[in-house]
Amino acid sequence: MISDLHIGMISKLNMAILGNSSDLWYDSSASVHVCNNRAHFKEYKEANNGRKVLMGNHNTTKVLGMGSVKIQFTFGKKVTLVNVLYVPAMRKNLVSADLLCKSGLKAIVESNKLILSKNGVFVGKGYSCDGMFKLSINNMINAFAYVVGCSLFLWHERLGHVNFRSLKFMSKYGLINCDNHEAKTCEICVQAKMTRLPSPKSQRNSKILDLVHSNICEMNGTLTRGGKRYFITFIDDCSRYTYVFLMKTKDEAFDMFKIYKALVENQIGKKIKIFRIDRGGKYFPIEFSSFCEVNGMIHKKFGPYTPQKNGLVERKNRTLTEMVNAMILNAKLSINL
């Protein structure tokens, strides 16, 4: 049985030159979409009724199946072609102008260019080539690029040692084809992705000024208009209320702490009990230790090279730095502001 479907005029010269390819051609005389590569079909159903199509050279060719093909234009827009015929004997992949029009796409041809749009929004384009219009696409999205069944572990290696949970998800939806889904420990991942164990979470203090965290951070490596290079933060562990002081040098930290201590204790009517910093050498060890003893404070210090143990202040300093940078960039101001 010969279908009344018609394929646009294709010269024998063009058929001989092009051969099977992933190019897509806009055909104003074709009444159906045609694809010659089974791998390009996203959804596919075999044809068992002996269906044929009539080509422009009055020859007929057999249709082996039908389905949908997803294409992506060079500008990023994606379009799904439905009821695409699978005809391996065809030398070109054809898109029917009539069917595109019925799907809501508008085509404008001028100056050897084809412009496709929908509801006034640009979708894609094509250009004149060999007497037809070739659509500018990145390539038809190959739905069956990996048809050979492989083990889950081999796919794990191919995809850059992605986690097995993602691989099983991809296999479930047909993105990869696995013979088995047995996951095993990857020693390469153990070596390449080793991280330190997370530091134990400390319990948040329930009373204000029972614990105060502090740290010093440099401001973008640039002096401010007032000649300041650093800032020091004091954070109450209970309320998370933060005080920030600017400094020219790190040895001003002790003076800033005295100002902070006098201010908060006078306003709240409570005393600082524990003061926590790292071992960055920001405070005078003898003078500051004596000051803590006189005022009945406990001075806690972390071990060297363990900033994660002072994570509360480290995160706050990063937040403040990013906030300042964002505001300066948005206002297009000088970094010293």
Which positions are catalytic? 27
Q: Which long-range contacts (CB under 8 A, 24 or more apart) does 243-252 make?
A: 244/320, 247/216, 250/216, 250/282, 251/284
Q: How many helices (H) and strands (E) does the chain have?
A: 8, 18
Query: DSSP string covering 100-111, please?
Result: HHHTT-EEEEET
Cα separation, 65 vs 84, whole angstroms? 8
Which residues fall within 8 angstroms of residue 102, CB to CB, at 6 or more apart?
Answer: none
Cα separation, 254 vs 229, whole angstroms? 16
Which residues fall within 8 angstroms of residue 10, CB to CB, at 6 or more apart?
Answer: 55, 56, 57, 91, 92
Which residues fall within 8 angstroms of residue 114, CB to CB, at 6 or more apart?
Answer: 26, 107, 108, 125, 126, 127, 128, 133, 135
